[in-house]
Amino acid sequence: MKSNLIALSCLVMSLTLVGCGGKNDEGKKYHWSKAHGVLEDCRGVMNKSQQCETNGNNQQYLFQIDRY
């Protein structure tokens, strides 16, 4: 029952995002960069991750794709 409720919530949220998203993007064309590796430390995206909580000097190699 709990998994059905979670699945239904995800479905409703995704439909809402699809319905509302993109209205400001009409007429714009976006380009995506190739994936490139970045070394991320605990001051950026990963600051609340479990790895950073156990080791503040931890660094992770992440893949980044930019939209412009």
The domain spans of the chain are 31-68
Going by DSSP bridges, is the β-strand pair 36-40/60-64 parallel, antiparallel, or unpaired?
antiparallel
Summarised one tens digit per residue, pLDDT across range 46-55 is: 778 887 788 7
What does the angle CA 55 – CA 48 – CA 9 come to, to the nearest 5 degrees?
140
Q: What is the pLDDT of residues 18-64, one digit of tens each?
A: 666 556 666 778 888 888 888 888 887 777 888 778 876 777 788 88
pTM of the model: 0.39
